[in-house]
Chain A
Amino acid sequence: MNRLDTLEAQSVFILREAYATARPLAALWSVGKDSNVVLWLARKAFFGRVPFPVVQLDTDMELDEVYAYRDQYTKEWDLDLIVIDCPPESEMDPDLPPMTRAAARKSAGLASLLEGDSYKGIIVGIRRDEEATRAKERVFSPRALSGVWEFRDQPPEFWDQFATETPEGAHLRIHPLLHWTEVDIWRYSQRENIPINPLYFTQNGKRYRSLGEKNITAPIESNASTVDEIIAELETTRSPERAGRLMDSEAEDSFERLRTSGYM
């Protein structure tokens, strides 16, 4: 087994555990490279289909190419798509720094999804290497109804035995890509021929390394126009993946505050 086989087998195992123990189940789809891989892995796990709804938390601020990709592959992959309109920024906690406040709209959108339907499991494509508080996550992460992450009191998780029961109203965040790295995502996308959003390739000397809302995300300097070139670029870069996600670095703990209050 090579490295991609190992990663895939573990993620498929996690998705099947989620499907067997945490229903009703839904997957968040930001239409970025990571959640595209999650849906692909679900089709691997369930032999060609995604047997649960796929939820896009829409801020109406995504780039056009994101909406185009969403519409095309919802049809081609036969997805049961749910689009949630996120509440406006004016309803967010005014104490948050401005960019962080914009990002908090997605946590609020997710909260409204959970209030409406009693999902027990929400699949999210975050990875440990993206960001330091995500590195502390569990594969199955129990959340209160409010979505709050009790990072001081996470359950033990070992031998692939995951939390399966939650108190009434609470849910499980399920993280099938936690053990993947950014380069793993690209190598796997390449091996599996997963369609790539053109925003990841260079246009006029810039490309998006991480896709977020257009008001709080900046492209990076890059001439990479193929997946191979992206991989080559990542092999030598020392700047972090989320450098273009402006809310992360507004304050020392701005991203931690986002995450503990329910952000992905």
Chain B
Amino acid sequence: MAKTIATENTAMQIGSTAGKLMRVVIVGHVDHGKSTLVGRMFHDTGQLPDGKMEAIQEMCRKRGMPFEWAFLMDSLKAERDQGVTIDTSQIWFHHNNRQYVIIDAPGHREFIRNMVTGASNADAALLMIDADQGIRRQSRHHSYLLQLLGVREVAVAVNKMDLVDYDETRFRKIETEYKSYLKSIGLEARRVIPISAREGDNVASASERMPWYDGPSIIETLAEFELSEPPVDRPLRLPLQDVFKFDDRRILAGRIESGTLRTGDELLFSPSNRTARVATIESWNTEQAPKMASAGLSVGITLDEQIFVERGEIASHLTDPPIETNVLHLRLFWLVDTPMEIGASYGLKLGPRHLSATVEQIERVIDVEALSDHAATEVKRDEIADVVVRTNQLVALDEHDNLPRTGRAILHNRHRTLAGGVISMGNYPDQRKQITIRSSNITKVVHSVDTARRIAQNRHKPGVLWFTGLSGAGKSTLAMGLERRLFDEGYQTYVLDGDNVRTGLNANLSFSPEDRSENIRRVSEVAVLLADAGLIVISALISPYRADRDRARDAAGGLFREVFIKAEIATCEARDTKGLYKRARAGEIAEFTGISAPYEEPVKPELVIDTNDRDIDSCIDELVAYVRANFKIPS
């Protein structure tokens, strides 16, 4: 036995430059034997440093307890005194020419934040389950967190088989149950191994006490884990960390998170939307300046033009740029005692971009035990939830499923990280698609009749009354009623109706999030033209996204009045004048607002018309009174 270890030792390449490092985190419920396994692995492969065994023996003797393997990793005195791992630790391990960092993560519920810290650095994970206790809360919680953190290489160790008399039936039951749980959250266990870390069964060598198991040991399983390569062939993402001006060079510094860049490439910076070409890739103490650089490298580049860009922007190529948005979905894990609340604002960090975000909606809290969802008004510590947040500025990002490294964010307050979350867009559109001015050689011409003359002749000011609300809330009915009454009173007025414009001006648009936004952009620009002609324009579109309505408000300047035609979804569904709700419920209409697509209520509308329990005439009376008060010029 001693001879085998010696042979292995000479074959080992400690710190070999060629050997790539595999980082393996060991996770699971408290007391299921994580730290013990690490101690055992080191001992059984002959890698304990000189004097370590004796030091551990001495620590145990002083505490009057039997030999404790966990003391190898539990380096804090408080950890040894209480027999519990508090914080994550790392230790280097090597076997058969492969280098490992073994990351020990605490299993106690109190220290989830430390488990996340450890696991986020891992390429692979070993999930420990106590054969006697079976699957416990942290067994499930930790695997769900691994999934969110992006660890896909996993194996399961069913530990303490000695406590269940090495019983195969017990093992198979846990194996079946846990494999099925992992599968349901999108993870697949490479191996499920029955072990006893304390006794050394199936850790470094096959166990004679479990002849019914013919799979690999823990050590052999480590060798099977595969390393993922940096995503050099994916779209380019270079988030800027800083811009240096130490000398006459202006160097943009950052780490390439995906893709490859070359000198001469035209880069697009988001969200500023400026472009320039890569002049040089800078370096220091290298033989020659590189001509290309790929994912994983920290680089510095200079540009052919001096454009203003700053920390937090993402450089990409012109094709496959990141999404630009100010609203996004996060599936997040909440780490602190104070719950997350709707309406609360937090700091949001997305790579080097730091901004502020408000929680608009808590869509669901996910029960990691039952894998069921429930509605909630807050997210409590250690819960996993789907939320919608709105940022105070436009931000460039990716969906996590597409590019993980630019598709995740953390929430924080001044001194503390509160949560981590992975990004998806759902029905929210990419706002990059709504860049308005594409051509630059335009000269504006001045009209021969100005606004003041039109007001004087019409005896009223122009305006845009932007009706927004659910389908069936009464937008078209009230708009047409108001148009008639205003016309009769001598106003110049016209209704832009959502359905009507789709038969002509917007006939080429679908109901996808991007096309819905474009639909609204065109209507708002037409409204601006008609208002410029002196009219009171009434638009009647669902216009579900706040960002789109804000853009319409920007386009119309001071002429814009947001009118929220308010009705409960149940009221609208009961009316169902166009029969659309019935079809949406039957699944015949995809992305139907209020059913399968979001409606974002106005924050500060100029007018709210609640149509739930009112007749049409009283609503129109109120609208007419509003127009008289705000637009009429007294004679």
Mark A residues whose CB is within 8 Å of B: 1-6, 8-10, 12-13, 16-17, 19-20, 43-49, 51, 128-129, 132-133, 135-136, 138, 142, 151-152, 154-159, 161, 163-167, 179, 181-184, 186-187, 192, 231, 234-236, 238-240, 252-253, 256
CB B418 to nearest CB in A, in angstroms, measures 9
Name A44's contact: one of B121, B149, B284 (CB within 8 Å). Answer: B284
CB A77 to nearest CB in B, in angstroms, measures 12
The reply to whether B14 and A161 contact each other, CB–CB distance below 8 Å, is no
Residues of chain A lying within 8 A (CB to CB) of residue B49? 238-240
The reply to whether A138 and B117 contact each other, CB–CB distance below 8 Å, is yes
The reply to whether A159 and B410 contact each other, CB–CB distance below 8 Å, is yes
**Interface-central residue, B17, B18, B48, B89, by most chain A CB under 10 Å:** B17
Q: Does B246 contact A (CB under 8 A)?
A: yes
Q: How far is the CA of A165 from the CA of B410 in the complex (A)?
A: 14
The reply to whether B116 and A156 contact each other, CB–CB distance below 8 Å, is yes
Q: Does B183 contact A (CB under 8 A)?
A: no
The reply to whether B15 and A47 contact each other, CB–CB distance below 8 Å, is no
Q: How far is the CA of A239 from the CA of B49 in the complex (A)?
A: 6
B398-409: contact bitstring with A at CB < 8 Å (1 yes, 0 no)?
000000000010
The reply to whether A181 and B242 contact each other, CB–CB distance below 8 Å, is no
Known: A12-B298, A158-B417, A236-B9. 13 other contacts (CB 8 A): A1-B294, A2-B17, A9-B255, A9-B296, A9-B297, A13-B255, A19-B242, A47-B282, A151-B86, A156-B420, A158-B149, A183-B15, A239-B49
Q: How far is the CA of A10 from the CA of B296 in the complex (A)?
A: 8
Residues of chain B lying within 8 A (CB to CB) of residue A166? 415
- From B72-80, B581-589, B614-622, the one touching the partner chain is B72-80
CB A176 to nearest CB in B, in angstroms, measures 11
Residues of chain B lying within 8 A (CB to CB) of residue A47? 244, 246, 249, 251, 282-284, 300
B227-242: contact bitstring with A at CB < 8 Å (1 yes, 0 no)?
0001000000000011
**Interface-central residue, A156, A166, A238, by most chain B CB under 10 Å:** A156
B294-314: contact bitstring with A at CB < 8 Å (1 yes, 0 no)?
101110100000000001000
Q: How far is the CA of A204 from the CA of B297 in the complex (A)?
A: 43
Residues of chain A lying within 8 A (CB to CB) of residue B91? 129, 135
Residues of chain A lying within 8 A (CB to CB) of residue B149? 158
Q: How far is the CA of A48 from the CA of B425 in the complex (A)?
A: 42
Q: Does B443 contact A (CB under 8 A)?
A: no
Q: How far is the CA of A158 from the CA of B422 in the complex (A)?
A: 13
The reply to whether A5 and B297 contact each other, CB–CB distance below 8 Å, is yes
Q: How far is the CA of A133 from the CA of B73 in the complex (A)?
A: 9
Residues of chain A lying within 8 A (CB to CB) of residue B551? none
Residues of chain B lying within 8 A (CB to CB) of residue A48? 284
- List residues of B (90-126) whose CB comes within 8 Å of A's CBs: 90-92, 101, 113-114, 116-117, 120-121
Nearest 10 interchain pairs by C-beta: A183-B15, A132-B75, A158-B120, A156-B113, A12-B298, A253-B77, A9-B298, A135-B89, A136-B87, A235-B14
Q: How far is the CA of A47 from the CA of B283 in the complex (A)?
A: 6
Residues of chain A lying within 8 A (CB to CB) of residue B471? none
Q: How far is the CA of A13 from the CA of B16 in the complex (A)?
A: 23
The reply to whether B9 and A192 contact each other, CB–CB distance below 8 Å, is no
Q: Does B557 contact A (CB under 8 A)?
A: no
Residues of chain B lying within 8 A (CB to CB) of residue A10? 298
B241-259: contact bitstring with A at CB < 8 Å (1 yes, 0 no)?
1101010010101110000
Interface size class of B (residues with CB under 8 A): 35 or more
The reply to whether B420 and A158 contact each other, CB–CB distance below 8 Å, is yes
Q: Does B489 contact A (CB under 8 A)?
A: no
The reply to whether A161 and B50 contact each other, CB–CB distance below 8 Å, is no
The reply to whether B14 and A183 contact each other, CB–CB distance below 8 Å, is yes
CB B115 to nearest CB in A, in angstroms, measures 9
The answer to whether residues A234 and B88 also contact, given A13-B241, A163-B417 and a CB cut-off of 8 A, is no
Chain A minimum-CB-distance residue to B241: A16
Q: How far is the CA of A94 from the CA of B214 in the complex (A)?
A: 59
Q: How far is the CA of A129 from the CA of B15 in the complex (A)?
A: 12
Q: Does B604 contact A (CB under 8 A)?
A: no
Residues of chain B lying within 8 A (CB to CB) of residue A12? 255, 298
**Interface-central residue, A142, A192, A252, by most chain B CB under 10 Å:** A252
- List residues of B (1-54) whose CB comes within 8 Å of A's CBs: 9-10, 12-21, 47-51
Q: How far is the CA of A5 from the CA of B417 in the complex (A)?
A: 29
Name A234's contact: one of B14, B50, B414 (CB within 8 Å). Answer: B14
Q: How far is the CA of A44 from the CA of B89 in the complex (A)?
A: 29
Chain A minimum-CB-distance residue to B149: A158
CB B512 to nearest CB in A, in angstroms, measures 31
Residues of chain A lying within 8 A (CB to CB) of residue B297? 1, 5, 9
Residues of chain B lying within 8 A (CB to CB) of residue A163? 415, 417
Residues of chain A lying within 8 A (CB to CB) of residue B21? 3, 6
Residues of chain B lying within 8 A (CB to CB) of residue A179? 101
The answer to whether residues A13 and B298 also contact, given A159-B120, A236-B10 and a CB cut-off of 8 A, is yes
- List residues of B (62-76) whose CB comes within 8 Å of A's CBs: 62, 73, 75-76
The answer to whether residues A135 and B75 also contact, given A1-B297, A155-B417 and a CB cut-off of 8 A, is yes
The reply to whether A157 and B417 contact each other, CB–CB distance below 8 Å, is yes
Q: How far is the CA of A40 from the CA of B408 in the complex (A)?
A: 32
Chain B minimum-CB-distance residue to A1: B296
Q: How far is the CA of A184 from the CA of B117 in the complex (A)?
A: 23
Chain B minimum-CB-distance residue to A15: B298
The reply to whether A136 and B298 contact each other, CB–CB distance below 8 Å, is no
Could you give 12 example pairs across A and B, Cβ below 8 Å? Answer: A2-B18, A5-B296, A20-B242, A47-B282, A133-B75, A152-B78, A155-B416, A156-B114, A158-B149, A159-B408, A181-B15, A238-B48
CB A254 to nearest CB in B, in angstroms, measures 10
Q: How far is the CA of A133 from the CA of B410 in the complex (A)?
A: 27
Residues of chain B lying within 8 A (CB to CB) of residue A159? 120, 408, 410, 420
CB B312 to nearest CB in A, in angstroms, measures 10
The reply to whether A192 and B285 contact each other, CB–CB distance below 8 Å, is yes
Q: How far is the CA of A240 from the CA of B92 in the complex (A)?
A: 12
Residues of chain B lying within 8 A (CB to CB) of residue A44? 284-285
The reply to whether A152 and B86 contact each other, CB–CB distance below 8 Å, is yes
The reply to whether B113 and A239 contact each other, CB–CB distance below 8 Å, is no
Q: How far is the CA of A22 from the CA of B308 in the complex (A)?
A: 23
Q: How far is the CA of A63 from the CA of B410 in the complex (A)?
A: 46
B266-300: contact bitstring with A at CB < 8 Å (1 yes, 0 no)?
00000000000000001111000000001011101
